Amino acid sequence: MKVSLIPEKCIACGLCQTYSKIFDYHDDGIVKFTDSQALVKTIDNQDHDTLKAVKACPTKALTIL
Ligand code: SF4
């Protein structure tokens, strides 16, 4: 499964990283992946923490592809 970031929708609330460390932030607080500058990342289907982060994002800046 893949997670996609939509940085234009991110409001820099910081919530996603509290669920999953695959998320990090640029200096302005906008979401990025911790280990990549890409906007799409393949994750393990069993990565429930990341799935929780996607569901918790208040602006739908994180999506599952
Ligand atoms: S939870 Fe959503 S809005 Fe908040 S920092 Fe993460 S991507 Fe941005």
CB of 6 within 6 A of ligand 1: the answer is: no
User: Is the Cα dihedral 21, 22, 24, 30 positive or negative?
Assistant: negative
pLDDT one digit per residue (tens) for the chain, 65 residues:
999 999 999 999 999 999 999 999 999 999 999 999 999 999 999 999 999 999 999 999 999 99
* Consecutive H or E run containing 49: helix 48-56
CB of 43 within 6 A of ligand 1: the answer is: no
- pLDDT the model gives residue 50: 98
Measuring CA to CA, which residue among 3, 27, 29 is closest to residue 15?
29
Distance CA 49, CA 21 (A): 9
- pLDDT the model gives residue 42: 97
CB of 16 within 6 A of ligand 1: the answer is: yes
Site to probe by mutation for ligand 1, drawn from 8, 9, 13, 30 as the one with most ligand atoms within 8 Å of Cβ, is 13
- pLDDT the model gives residue 43: 95
Fold of the CATH domain 2-64: Alpha-Beta Plaits (3.30.70)
Distance CA 5, CA 41 (A): 9
